[in-house]
């Protein structure tokens, strides 16, 4: 009995090690959004002056499966994912709505002029208030919203071709077929 006591630290350690091993398979950047399967927040953002796109509001998003992308000109990863959105826009795969986050209008405008503008509508969220309602954690963030205006998917960080092909595009297809 007394001997068994000396095995206790070992047993406790193995339980812990097993748990660490499991923990390693988790991706720390995956933050489950409380907004998944919830309707998009009620909001109405002004247009991004001079970008030549309509303003963005709750009503503008509803009615069609769409992506909502939060971006800023000061955000380097946004630049990384931008060509993917350009391709999606060129091939007319799915409408992409943009939210310009905490960015001066002329900076956002210049950025879009330089890199191309893939967005169907753009809301200018200068103080970041609306982004809070969207649960934005860092830029860039991308949401997939279905026809009824329900958030179905959220990704924090730049979209990679892999995430696009494996997760976003299949989901968009599925949402389109459903009803």
Partner 1 sequence: MIAELGHYALVLALCVALAQSIVPLAGAQKGDPALMATAKPAAYAQFLLVALAFGCLIHAFVVSDFTVENVVRNSHSQKPMLYKVSGAWGNHEGSMVLWSLILALFGASVAAFGRNLPPGLKARTLSIQAMIGVAFLAFIVFTSNPFERVLPPPPDGQDLNPLLQDPGLAFHPPLLYVGYVGFSIVFAFAMAALIEGRVDAAWARWVRPWTLAAWASLTAGIALGSWWAYYELGWGGWWFWDPVENASFMPWLVGAALLHSAIVAEKRDALKTWTILLAILAFALSLIGTFLVRSGILTSVHAFAVDPQRGVFILAIIVVAIGGSLALYAWRAPMLKGGGLFQPISREGALVLNNLLLATATATVFIGTLYPLFLEALGGAKVSVGPPFFNATFVPLMVPLLLAVSFGPLLGWKRADLAGALQRLRAALVLSVAAIVVTLWMDHGRNLIAAAAIGLAAWLFFGAWVEWAERVKLFRAPWATVWERAVNLPRAAWGMTIAHAGVGLMVLGITGSTAWQSESIKMMRPGERFDLAGYTFVFKGTERREGPNFFATRGVFEVYKGERLYATMTPEKRLFPVAGTTTTEASIRTNILADLYLTIGDPEGGGQPGSPGAPAFIVMAGSDTPWTVRAYHNPLVPWIWLGSLVMVLGAGVSLTDRRHRVGAPRRMAAPGAMPAAAE
Q: Under the rule (CB under 8 A), what is the footprint of partner 1?
A: 2-3, 6-7, 9-10, 13-14, 17, 19-26, 28-29, 31-32, 72-74, 76, 102-104, 107, 126-128
| Identity of the residue, 3 or 177, whose beta carbon is nearer to partner 1 in the bound complex | 3
| Identity of the residue, 44 or 76, whose beta carbon is nearer to partner 1 in the bound complex | 76
**Token pair 């946004």 in the structure block, residue:** 78
Distance in angstroms (rounded) separating the CA atoms of residues 41 and 171: 21
Measured at the alpha carbon of residue 27, what is the angle toward residues 26 and 31, in degrees to the nearest 5?
A: 110
Rounded to the nearest whole angstrom, what is the least distance from the CB of residue 112 to partner 1 in the complex? Answer: 14
Strand partners, 125: 101
DSSP state of 96: E
Rounded to the nearest whole angstrom, what is the least distance from the CB of residue 129 to partner 1 in the complex? Answer: 11
What is the rounded end-to-end Cα distance, in angstroms, of the chain? 65
Rounded to the nearest whole angstrom, what is the least distance from the CB of residue 122 to partner 1 in the complex? Answer: 17
CB 122 within 8 A of CB 97: yes
| Identity of the residue, 32 or 177, whose beta carbon is nearer to partner 1 in the bound complex | 32
Rounded to the nearest whole angstrom, what is the least distance from the CB of residue 104 to partner 1 in the complex? Answer: 7
User: Is the omega angle on the peptide bond into residue 150 within 30 degrees of 0, that is, cis?
Assistant: no
| Identity of the residue, 34 or 59, whose beta carbon is nearer to partner 1 in the bound complex | 34
């Amino acid at each position: 009995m007394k001997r068994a006591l000396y095995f206790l630290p070992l047993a406790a350690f193995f339980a812990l090690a097993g748990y660490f091993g499991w923990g390693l398979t988790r991706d720390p950047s995956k933050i489950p959004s409380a907004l998944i399967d919830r309707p998009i927040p009620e909001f109405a953002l002004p247009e991004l002056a001079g970008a030549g796109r309509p303003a963005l509001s709750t009503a503008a998003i509803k009615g069609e499966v769409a992506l909502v992308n939060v971006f800023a000109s000061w955000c380097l990863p946004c630049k990384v994912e931008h060509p993917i959105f350009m391709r999606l826009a060129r091939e007319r795969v799915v409408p992409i709505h943009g939210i310009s986050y905490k960015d001066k209008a002329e900076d956002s405008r210049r950025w879009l002029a330089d890199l191309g503008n893939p967005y169907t509508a753009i809301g200018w969220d200068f103080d970041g208030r609306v982004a809070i309602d969207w649960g934005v954690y860092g830029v860039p963030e991308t949401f997939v919203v279905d026809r009824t205006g329900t958030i179905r998917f959220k990704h924090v960080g730049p979209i990679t071709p892999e995430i696009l092909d494996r997760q976003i595009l299949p989901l968009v297809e599925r949402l389109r077929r459903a009803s």
